[in-house]
Structure 1
Amino acid sequence: MSEPLVRGHFVTFEGGEGAGKSTQIERLRKRLEGAGVKVMVTREPGGSPGAETIRRLLLGGRIKDLGPEMEAMMFAAARADHVDTTIEPALSRGDWVLCDRFADSTRVYQGESGVDTAFLDRLEALAVAGCRPDLTVLVDVPAEIGMARVAARSSAGAAPQPDRFETEGESVHDRRRQLFLELAASQPERFLVIDGTQTQDTVEQEIWQAVSARLLQGEGART
């Protein structure tokens, strides 16, 4: 009888706009693959065909006028499809999943817009169906720095024009930053908070040290 597959680890990355999540996800992917780990990188909203369709509606601003509750519901619908179609199958195969945003972003973004916490609790329970991150990396940068990075990327043509959430005011982004930090402080066993104003190499090393200590120990991978 063949040995059962060991379930993979689920690592999510959170933070405000311009925090540098995508860069660090790619760097961690390379580190893990170098350590012999099979990795899948995905994102939210999106990550599956159905969720990518919803992503275009959300980031294009087509749902905004329907109110923050409807936005939260659309994010939950995309997340449910993403978990069922992409994330859970990969974890069941024993792959690691690195995800750019997950349920914490809905709590922060739609929570900041005034959506009731109990309503978000119910949506999250339905959408994730017990699929919870083993580790969440919060890349923290002040709002003004993050937005300056977004503007620089767009003006240089290195990224698409700012989306529906990136174009909101700095005070909104600052409130979201504080909500992320509060969420991380309430669940220190899951969160790793990283100062995203440091050099990319320093951020990468701090993330790798934490991943090695929390998730790789005992798996026989090279560190």
Structure 2
Amino acid sequence: MYVIFEGVDTSGKSTQIARLKTRLPQAIITKEPGGTNLGIEIRRMVLEKTEPVDETAEMFLFLADRAQHYRNVVAAHADKLVISDRGFVSGMAYAMANQKSLDLPLLLTLNRLALGGNFADKIVFFKTNEALILERLGQKHHDSIEARGVEYLLHVQYLMEEILKRLELPVCTVDAGWSEEKIEQTIEGFLI
């Protein structure tokens, strides 16, 4: 089963994945970008901004990573539980936030191609709010995406919600403000 955890930066995805990793040691834990060698390089290029990256080029870099990641990690472990920190939903939402001219049908087509026609089996969506983002951003160093600000992250979250409404996939929405234990129990119930 292929499960993606979606949500904007600081929403708690990585924390919950770390908790699940201890409870489900047989699961394959991965992330986009960064779950492959190609993804690590793309993540470094985009997040560390070693040179300015055009928005269209950035989108295609992430699509290239998604294709490589799907084939090398997800498809290669099709018989196991694969949990990914981010996936195509956030990829589309960030692309739409960066380029207002992009539309969802085009992005769905491009992502379907990158994923070999296979979207996730289940999606866990972490919904946050302005106060929680501000609190959590204050506790960490900001990468180039987080540095775009709270309004940007809230807009990306709105786009994620709109994308999820259009997909016919099982989605579990958790409130990022819930306790870590409550979120973990909700996710485990959804995955079983």
Deviation string 1:31-52 (CA, Å, 9 cap, x unpaired) is: 334xxxx211000111011221
SS at match of 2:59: helix
Relative distance call for 1:99 and 1:58 in structure 2 (3 A) is: same
- Give how far 1:63 is off: 6.2
Contact 2:3 2:120 in 1 (8 A): yes
TM-score by length of 2: 0.91
RMSD: 1.8
Aligned position for 1:100 = 85
**1:43: which partner in 2?**
31
**Structure of greater Rg:** 1
Quickly say closer, same or farther: Cα 1:28–1:115, change in 2 above 3 A: farther
Distance verdict in 2 for CA 1:54–1:47, change over 3 Å: same
Selected match of 2:166 from 178, 181, 186: 186
Match of 1:22 in 2: 14
Which deviates the most, 114-123 or 96-105? 114-123
> Counterpart of 1:54 in structure 2: which amino acid?
I
Matched, 1:140 2:120: no
Contact preservation (8 Å) 1:12, 1:135: yes
Where in structure 1 are there 5+ consecutive unaligned residues? Answer: 1-8, 155-160, 213-223
Give distance in 2, aligned partners of 1:28 and 1:173: 25
What per-residue deviation string (whole Å, max 9, x for no partner) do you get for residues 1-55 of structure 1?
xxxxxxxx0010000110000111122233334xxxx211000111011221111
Using the alignment, how far apart are the partners of 2:60 and 2:51 within structure 1? 10
SS at match of 2:173: strand
Change (3 A) 1:146 1:125: same
Cα distance in 1, alignment partners of residues 43 and 191 from structure 2:
29
Query: How many aligned positions are there?
Result: 190
Q: Give ranges in structure 2 of 5+ residues lacking alignment.
A: none
Q: How many angstroms apart in 1 are the aligned matches of 2:109 and 2:187?
A: 31
The TM-score with structure 1 as length reference comes to 0.79
Shift in CA distance, 183/143, structure 1 to aligned 2, threshold 3 Å: farther
Q: Give the AA of the match of 2:150.
A: E
Which residue of 126, 140, 162 maps to 2:113?
Answer: 126
| CA spacing shift, 1:26–1:115, aligned 2, 3 Å | farther
Q: Distance in 2 between matches of 1:63 and 1:97?
A: 33
1:202 corresponds in structure 2 to 182
Percent identical among aligned pairs is 27
Q: Is the 8 A contact 2:112 2:118 kept in 1?
A: no
Shift of 1:188: 6.0
CA contact (8 A) 1:184 1:193 kept: no
Which of 55, 60, 65 in structure 2 is aligned with 1:78?
65
**1:131 is paired with a residue of what secondary structure?**
coil
Distance 1:115 1:58, change over 3 A: farther
The question of 1:61 aligning with 2:49 is answered yes
